[in-house]
A and B are shown apart, each in its own frame.
Chain A
Amino acid sequence: MPTDNLLLEFLTGKFVTIVGFVAAMLAVAAYFKAAQTEHEPLIQKEWLRLARYAFLGMFVAIVINGLHLLYLILTHQFQYNYVKSYSDTTLNIFYLISTFYAGQEGSFMLWMFYGALLGLFVIRIARDYEAPVMTVLTLSEAFLLSMIMGIQVPGIGVIGSDPFALVGGEVPKEGDGLNALLQNPWMVIHPPTLFLGFSSLIVPFSFAIAALWKNRYDDWVRPALPWILFSALTLGTGIMMGGYWAYKVLGWGGYWGWDPVENSSLVPWLMIVALLHTTLVQKKNGSLKRFNLFLAILSYSTILYSAFLTRSGVLGDTSVHSFTDLGLYNQLVAFCAVFFLGGLGLLLWRFPRIPSAGSTDSLYSREFFLMSGSLVLMLIGLVVLAGTSAPLIDQILGRPISKIEPDFYNKTTLPLAVLIGFLSAIGQLIWWKRIDRDTLIKNLAIPISLAMLMTSVLVLFGMKEIGMIVLTLSASFSLFANAQVFLKIAKGNWRFAGGSLTHIGLALMLLGIIGSGKYDESRFVELPVGHPVQVFGRELVYAGIEKIDGAKNGFKILVREGTKEHTAMPVMYETRRMTVQNPDVIHSLTQDFYLAPVNLLRRPSGHRFVLAKDEAQTHDGYTVKFTGFKMYQDPSALNPASSQPIKIGANVEVTKDGVTERVEPTLTIQAGAAPEMEPAALQTNPAVKVLLVNIDANNRKVMLELQGLPSATMVPTETLIVEASIKPFINVLWVGTYLVFLGFCLSIYRRWQERHLRHTRQAQTRPAAPLQKTGSNESLVAS
């Protein structure tokens, strides 16, 4: 073993963490001094030099730690608890790498690595903002480092949980392995993207604190804007990847479940997107300074609060998720408190000094709509935050603990989503300049008519709920309005089209969510092996198990739809930790057909007959004849879409030794539930039962089963239960996510260029103080 050497182990593990922590604290102190000595350039220069070296030292420590942990994972050093808990020798290289962030400690390390890396960029480009911004950023790094220190402090207790802790006792031969659900290509890239988003939020936050600290309320938004866009892009992409992974891999049929973990990354994203909109207002006319500072503080605070909710074990009792408490509760509370209360306190203290620009904008200004949009986004964020915190609120108030159902979020955010649609439509139509009411109405004419047309068509096709109709109207209005703006701008300068492209994507996402979330249909279907079953206009035949990768059970299902035939292969397998159920999806342009395995029933069974009307078959001396159906409801009144159970009986004649007996087994079918069979026993021999297993309505055949025959071969028959669902227009949602992504990239590109443009222009027109300042900073970077 390479790490048998205790000294080496000490030098590369916990010790490096502590060195990194000390370096971070040193950098915080030095940056603080540098920020406070701006009026004495020579002294500031010295402090800055020290601070940068200290920060670099911290960065190196974090990188060494990261490479060390990665090395331990790749070389399967199971004497380390972290390696043992999350990996084993069977994993391929990609999944071994994702083991790195499978646990809390590793994900903290990823978070701090990104923070430090972004810090290096900030040092290079923040110029005169460097000292105050880096003070705050490095303080956050110090907190993160403390989470993985794992040292005993007298009077306080253990600080942090050390990822390099040893197992103790005998070295295990094999690790526990990586959670099977994480063994998916999406999971290799989803957490790193999400964590990049998490950590990047520190930069806008730090700029806001720097603005408050230095009383520079106007110009902080300019350098912060590319960072805000970057956070919105990475966090948003991470969230969308998570949704796609949930849909394709988890098999619970959806991409979004309002789960605490999902919510806690959504809320900061909403805050940063709200901030994005109002910084544009501030750049334009100098208003909303306080609101922007507040939003920047809120966005990083909500990330920290999310980390607290999901990592402290506080949701442990109310969530299915067994969040493990690593004893970081107090540390996480302190982290949240320092950044949220510190930031808020600073804002309140400076509040009277922040100049408020009396906004003279009319209601028809773009700024008014940007601001309203931000407010609505913030409201959505706050209501989701409140719902997610419900168990914590109950705990604090000493009430019995309760949990908020997903429907709460659907209902309360619906009116706000409608508003988002309308605001994003009108806000984009009022392009840049103030326009009067008449021009606005002229611009509105085409998109609003198209939106009404589209909504009417959907209503004709059966859309009934008023909420959905209004949301469709608003989303399609936004779609057409933004498309109109996009075409106009893209003709001129495509670089400016990022905003409208993002909004087109957003509108498509809303429409896709309506289609796939509200108008999806789902049914539990029992598939006896080899027997065709009709569901949603398709014929499914379960053809048996095929082994995938050696040990996994793939259920081969033939799906026939009209003349088209597909093979679906949902997968289910046991791991040491859980049963994994991977769905399979048959994509088509307008809808997805989604098959999630639920359960495989193997039961000893009797003989099965598939009979047409008046057809008879003999098995083992029993002749079984199907003479017709008995309907328990009026067939003409039956609505297949209703949730009313449908009970059907089969009239069956069983003849044995010349004695004929009539029995009537029944089958009850209900949407959303597995069918219920009621067997009928023979009077002459009650041990023998007849079951109505299935009905093939197209060919007017039934499947009957004769159970309890003395000579019955006890070969178990397999019945696969799947949840089949139809997801209409889910592709619209995915296309929307791609456009949102592209739009953000385009906007970043433009703002990044603008940052340079603005800088050169400033240098040309105002060669006085700012240039000297930045100039001196540049020389510092060079030195």
Chain B
Amino acid sequence: MLKNPKVIVGSGVVAAVLLWLAFTAQEWASSAIGYATLSEAAASKKVCYVKGYWVKEKPADLSGSVFTFYMRDESGAETRVVYRNGKPNNFEEATSIVVQGKYENGTLYAKDILVKCPSKYQSEAADKAKKI
């Protein structure tokens, strides 16, 4: 039985696929970034997406290469956001923003800021174009 190369190769393949599936599941868990409110983000200590709005009344540095501002999340909590790559385009016009970042010591350190604009894009191509 074991002399049949097909059986050997077949079981090898099955083992490899199972191994790969386990790897995939583990990667899935580590690369799934959830949407969270600020309190949830603080509790998770992981990178999260926080959806919210720019608090225009609070101090912001819009011109520097380190861009800071205050945001309010959907539960009403507020935080300072620090982003190192300058103000994203269309920031002022945004109806809402989604900040991808880590919430530490009362500051949300942004890796990326996604700006949602009031306009509607429909086609796939246009949607693709919105990639920031």
Contacts and interface: CB of A to CB of B under 8 A. Distances in A.
A721 B89 contact: no
Contact of A598 (B31, B86, B117, B130): B86
A323 interface: yes
Contacts of B127: 261, 310, 319, 321-323
Contacts of A383: 24
A85 B119 CA distance: 10
A318 B32 CA distance: 12
Contact of B84 (A411, A579, A674): A674
Contact of B32 (A190, A250, A404, A675): A404
Contacts of A408: 27-28, 31-32
Nearest to B62: A601
- Of the listed residues B20, B36, B122, the one surrounded by the most CB atoms of chain A closer than 10 A to its CB is B122
Given A320-B98, A363-B6, A581-B89, A415 B20 contact: yes
Contact of B33 (A101, A402, A415, A577): A402
A243 B63 CA distance: 33
Contacts of B125: 102, 179, 181-182, 187, 190-191, 242
Identify whether the interface residues of B are mostly helix, strand, loop, or mixed: mixed
A759 to B, nearest CB: 36
B89 A579 contact: yes
B126 A179 contact: yes
A223 interface: no
A674 B123 contact: no
Interface string A6-35: 000000000000000000000000000000
B114 A601 contact: no
A179 B132 CA distance: 15
Interface string B71-114: 00000000000001111011000000010000000000000001
A526 interface: yes
A673 interface: yes
Interface in A564-579: 576-579
A721 B86 contact: yes
B85 A598 contact: yes
B128 interface: yes
A182 B31 contact: no
Nearest to B128: A261
Contacts, number: 162
Contacts of A257: 131
A402 B123 contact: no
A176 B20 CA distance: 49
Interface string A368-399: 00001000000100010011001000000000
A557 B127 CA distance: 30
Contact of B24 (A259, A412, A578): A412
A148 interface: no
Contact of B89 (A182, A261, A599, A673): A599
Identify whether the interface residues of A are mostly helix, strand, loop, or mixed: mixed
A510 B40 CA distance: 40
A547 B128 CA distance: 27
B17 to A, nearest CB: 8
B4 to A, nearest CB: 10
Interface in A430-451: none
A400 interface: yes
B59 interface: no
Contacts of A242: 125, 128
A308 interface: no
Nearest to A307: B124
Contact of B129 (A250, A401, A411): A250
A676 interface: yes
A673 B84 contact: yes
B121 to A, nearest CB: 5
A578 B120 CA distance: 11
Interface of A: 85, 101-104, 107, 179, 181-182, 187, 190-191, 242, 246, 250, 252, 257, 259, 261-262, 310, 317-324, 363, 372, 379, 383, 386-387, 390, 400-405, 407-408, 411-412, 415-416, 524, 526, 576-579, 581, 598-599, 601, 603, 673-676, 721
Interface of B: 5-6, 9, 13, 17, 20, 23-24, 27-28, 31-36, 40, 49, 63, 65-66, 84-87, 89-90, 98, 114, 116-117, 119-132
24 contacts: A101-B123, A181-B129, A182-B125, A246-B128, A261-B128, A320-B114, A322-B120, A323-B127, A363-B6, A390-B32, A400-B35, A402-B34, A403-B32, A411-B31, A412-B27, A526-B65, A577-B121, A578-B89, A578-B119, A579-B89, A598-B86, A673-B65, A674-B66, A676-B66
Given A250-B128, A402-B33, 16 more contacts: A102-B125, A103-B123, A107-B123, A182-B126, A259-B128, A261-B124, A261-B127, A324-B121, A400-B35, A402-B35, A404-B32, A411-B27, A415-B20, A416-B20, A676-B66, A721-B65
